[in-house]
Amino acid sequence: MMITTILFLCIFAFFLGSIPFGLIFARMFSGIDLRKTGSGNIGATNARRAGGWKPGIATLACDMLKGAGPVLLAAFIAKDLSPALKETIMGLTAVAAVYGHLFPVYLKFKASGKGVATAAGCFWVISPATVGLAVILFLITATATRRVSPGSLAATAFLPMGTFWLTGSLIFTGFSLIIALAIIFRHKDNIKRLLAGTEPTLRNK
């Protein structure tokens, strides 16, 4: 029974995480196919850069919600279980949601986002304080560099450390590390552009 429940949560999280909200909102507001515009990324940053603030904010909000929703459901279902099992179920659900975003089934596992907003939604349920500090770090870094990707990378790198510091849970920390490594890998092209000095700034469209 428990295995079935965990499997259901992970499948639900993966399919919900796969919904390409950036692609949907860019088409809805601006008639743009994000896969053929800007960086080709379907996340909030490219949606804002290519289509304006409306699709950008809508994408950010929905990408966070598709992470928070499944983890909140997992927490509710596992509320009467032991702390270790509850944390494991929530962590697995978070990984499934983020990996659904990174490898969207509806787009044949291609043209994904970077996973930052979805991970933030997941960990807003797991450790709101960690996400709050990560957001502050993101804002400081992005403002200082005038680029989104360094802020995203800084916040992502902080996620496992912050999770351990503020929750003391090795289980949550382990899952946060799995998620952080995947997000950093998805930023490999951004890292190359940063090193080459060609990464777009916040004002670029």
What pLDDT, on the 0 to 100 scale, is given for residue 180? 98
Q: Is the pTM of this model over 0.95?
A: no
Assigned token pair, 201: 């700034």
Residues 6+ apart with CB under 8 A from 118: 17, 63, 64, 66, 67, 97, 98, 101
What is d(CA 85, CA 89) in angstroms, rounded to the nearest whole number?
6
φ, ψ for residue 104, nearest 5 deg: -65, 120
Q: How many CB atoms lie within 10 A of CB 111?
A: 18
17, 98 contact by CB (below 8 A): yes
Assigned token pair, 113: 């986002």
What pLDDT, on the 0 to 100 scale, is given for residue 44? 84
Helix (H, G, I), strand (E, B) or coil at 143: helix
What pLDDT, on the 0 to 100 scale, is given for residue 203? 65
**Angstrom distances, CA of residue 14 to CA of 7, 17, 28, 74, 144:** 10, 5, 24, 13, 34
106, 18 contact by CB (below 8 A): yes
- Residue found under tokens 């190359």: 192
Residue by residue, pLDDT tens for the chain (205 residues) are: 688 999 999 999 999 999 999 989 988 888 888 888 877 788 888 888 777 888 889 999 999 999 999 999 999 999 999 999 999 999 999 999 999 999 999 988 886 789 999 999 999 999 999 999 999 999 999 999 999 999 999 999 999 999 999 999 999 999 999 999 999 999 999 999 999 988 888 765 4
Q: How many CB atoms lie within 10 A of CB 130?
A: 25
Q: How many CB atoms lie within 10 A of CB 178?
A: 16
Do you know the residue count of the chain?
205
21, 106 contact by CB (below 8 A): no
| Surface-to-core class of residue 89, CB atoms within 10 Å of its CB (0-12 exposed, 13-18 middle, 19+ buried) | buried
